[in-house]
Amino acid sequence: MAYVHLVSNNRNIKVKNTDELEENSDLNLDFDASGKVIGIEFFGFTALKFRDMNNVKKIYTKNQSDKGIIYSFRLADIKPKKSVQVNGLVLYFKGEEFEDFVGLDITDVNLYGREILDSLTI
């Protein structure tokens, strides 16, 4: 298993609920009380992609899109074929069947906090 903290690795943030991503059972999303995704659990083949990322603190690049500022995390520079939107996030997948996670964008900067995201930006 691999785990990615989206906004903080502060252990005091409480997980209110965990939901398996319907489109890909290798991903479980952890939500806080406000409904924001605070972390993602990765299993199976997807988890292996994270083995070289232990203790990496800064994971995002900050980009301008037609909808404003977004914060992006990518495991590979691959054009995704499928995406899923969940509470201010867009999760990207290489395969047509939502397999092979390749990254995410945080599109709701206000929900996730610009200052926190900037502190996690490369």
Q: What is the pLDDT of residue 9?
A: 66
Contact (CB, 8 A) for 119 and 5:
no
Three-class secondary structure of residue 64 per DSSP: strand
- The domains of the chain are located at 2-119
pLDDT of residue 18: 97
pLDDT by 10-residue block (mean), the chain, 122 residues: 84 87 96 93 91 84 92 94 97 96 96 92 92
C-alpha–C-alpha distance, residues 62 and 121, integer Å: 7
Query: Which residue spans within 1-122 are E strands per DSSP?
Result: 2-5, 17-20, 27-31, 37-42, 61-65, 68-74, 82-86, 89-93, 101-106
Ramachandran angles phi, psi of 46, nearest 5°: -60, -40
* Site of tokens 């500022």: 69
